[in-house]
Amino acid sequence: MVSGNHIQSLVDQVEKNPEYKISEREAQGFLAEIKRLTKEDKTNMPPLVVIIMAYINILFPEIDEVKA
């Protein structure tokens, strides 16, 4: 489930529904994929991706140590 498509799908869902409730599994996949991508590509991330990452860290602080 962890892929660029997963990230785009999650971003789309959050854009469409500001009240979207992310699951811990989605959060883990999202963070793992973002960490993998940032190792490969050092360009700036879109603001919504950064906001989602912060939201995930607030909801699930224990998964901050996800191994990519």
Q: What is the pLDDT along the chain (68 residues), one digit of tens a residue?
A: 446 677 788 888 888 988 888 888 888 888 888 777 777 666 666 777 777 878 888 888 877 665 54
- Say what the pTM is: 0.53
The 10 Å CB-count burial string (b at 16+, else e) for 27-64 is bbbbbbbbeebeeeeeeeeeeebeebbeebeeebeebe
Sign of CA dihedral 9, 12, 16, 17: positive
Q: Identify the residue whose tokens are 């009240």.
A: 19
Taking the domains of the chain in order of start, what are their residue ranges? 4-65
Spatial separation of the C-alpha atoms in residues 50 and 47, rounded to whole Å = 5
